[in-house]
A and B are shown apart, each in its own frame.
Chain A
């Protein structure tokens, strides 16, 4: 049973560019959350998607947007990249019946 799959694992972007990160949830899970983990910090909640809609949002600017597809997979988009966006981006999936989040291994984004 595959867990949470994220792609790509690493990428490097230039300031001002746009990036799309992808996440496939664990089988049986219908809720996807995204977190940003800066070096040496704990993960910070970006937003959560359920039934293809953003259900909750953390304190992140509108440059961060997302989408959930009918098969429950999700994308995180970041526009106008800043150096400070460099971080590990983690996707977590859960079942709406109970949380118990399962995390993916993350995408390491470096903005230069």
Chain B
């Protein structure tokens, strides 16, 4: 079946690194995404990774993919209070035009 799981909460200090983890079940997913949702807002695409990649870095964001374990992680370096939000992992079993399957989201709280 299709399911994406994430831990629900993460709390870090400003300036520390944050690591948000996700597991997915569909090995046919060719794209995996990280979205950010701030209170009262829609979803903002942060980054995505192709299934044939192990790692992708984009400024403060690093995505690691372990296909064998179906594990995806998002590392945010030098976390700021403005990074406080809910982060969703999503897989797309149907390719780039397929529907997205989301986890329940990880609420990141950044303490000053």
- Flag if A104 contacts B99 (CB, 8 Å): no
- Flag if B43 contacts A40 (CB, 8 Å): no
**Complex interface residues of chain B between 46 and 97 (CB less than 8 A to chain A):** 48, 88, 90, 92, 94-97
Contacts of B95 in A (CB 8 A): 99
- Flag if B99 contacts A45 (CB, 8 Å): yes
One digit per residue, 1 when the CB lies within 8 angstroms of any chain A CB and 0 when it does not, for chain B 20-59 equals 0000000000010001000011111100100000000000
**Given the contacts A56-B98, A99-B31, A90 and B43 also touching, CB distance less than 8 Å:** yes
Q: Does A72 contact B (CB under 8 A)?
A: no
- Flag if B102 contacts A48 (CB, 8 Å): no
- Looking at A40, A41, A92, A101, which has the most chain B CB atoms within 10 Å of its CB? A101
Count chain B residues whose beta carbon lies closer than 8 angstroms to a beta carbon of A: 25
- Flag if B105 contacts A42 (CB, 8 Å): yes
User: Given the complex of chains A and B, what is the CA–CA distance between A84 and B97 in angstroms?
Assistant: 28
- Flag if B96 contacts A100 (CB, 8 Å): yes
Q: How far is the CB of A64 from chain B (nearest CB, A)?
A: 14
**Given the contacts A33-B99, A42-B88, A106 and B42 also touching, CB distance less than 8 Å:** yes
Partner of B100, one of A4, A40, A45, A106: A45
- Looking at B41, B42, B44, which has the most chain A CB atoms within 10 Å of its CB? B42
Least CB separation from A40: chain B residue: B104
- Looking at B43, B45, B96, which has the most chain A CB atoms within 10 Å of its CB? B43
Q: Can you list 24 contacts pairing A with B, beta carbon distance less than 8 Å?
A: A31-B97, A33-B99, A33-B100, A42-B88, A42-B103, A42-B105, A43-B102, A45-B100, A56-B94, A56-B99, A90-B43, A92-B43, A94-B97, A96-B97, A99-B95, A99-B98, A100-B48, A100-B96, A102-B45, A103-B42, A103-B43, A103-B44, A104-B42, A105-B40
Interface residues of B (CB under 8 A from A): 4, 31, 35, 40-45, 48, 88, 90, 92, 94-105
